[in-house]
Amino acid sequence: MSDHLSSRKPLALLIPGLDGTGLLFYRQVEALSARYRIRAWNFRRRSRFDFPGLVEELREGTEGEEPKSILVVGESFGGPIALHYVLALPERVRSLALINAFPYYRGRRRIRLICALAPLLRWSAARGVKNWLVDRTLAFEGILPGDRARYRRIVQQIDQHAYRQRLELVKQVDLRAELEKITVPTILFASGRDKIVAAVREARGMASIIPHAKLHEFPRAGHALLLTPGFSLADYL
């Protein structure tokens, strides 16, 4: 291996949630950059895909990294993708961090309803109602006005066809039987006021199965932990 490859910083692969853009990691990038090369993944725009296809996209994008060198971070829906990636390519991964993530989404009725209503988002009025509800939730979670405004700008860039397909994958995912195969050091982050994922329950369950897992709980934080004032992912890595 060349001196250049062996001397450069390891890669931090940041896998986004339902937005699919990687842009919501913005508050974490500066601190992480002190130790890592940052790749906040922006998935290709396409309307049909599955978990193997998403992992293949990530595999192609992380070719050439040193073995056992990549920090993989998965937030929310990015958590199942991160788990799939680690299970498929354990030889590449140094450590794993999961933020308000899940191996199986327990709110089955809720996700079916959301999938049924998702086509309405092609109408601006429906998007307006959704954005208002999200903004109220973020305010309740303590997210600052500037970050809420930036969140709204990022959400406007989401490809709605890909968003609906990601929702369909939430209905399908079930990695509970695979968790014991995750052998890399794993850090789990769970927010106590998460209204989207039963984050604490899921994180505690994963911590009880994944070897070498550590759990950090944030009782007063909500689902948008990445945007929560005072939270720095780098502090725990």
Tens of pLDDT, residues 193-203 = 999 999 999 99
State the total domains in the chain. 1
pTM for this model (two decimals):
0.91
CB 71 within 8 A of CB 10: yes
pLDDT number for residue 60: 97
pLDDT number for residue 35: 96
3 state SS for 194-208: CCCCCHHHHHHHHHH
pLDDT number for residue 7: 60
pLDDT number for residue 6: 45
Question: Which residues of the chain are under the pLDDT cut of 70?
Answer: 1-7, 112, 114-115, 117-123, 126-127
Q: What is the CATH number of the domain that holds 28?
A: 3.40.50.1820
Kindly calculate the radius of gyration of the chain based on its CA atoms and give it in whole angstroms: 17
pLDDT number for residue 4: 47
pLDDT number for residue 124: 72
In whole angstroms, give the CA distance from residue 63 to residue 71: 14
Domain around 141:
3-236
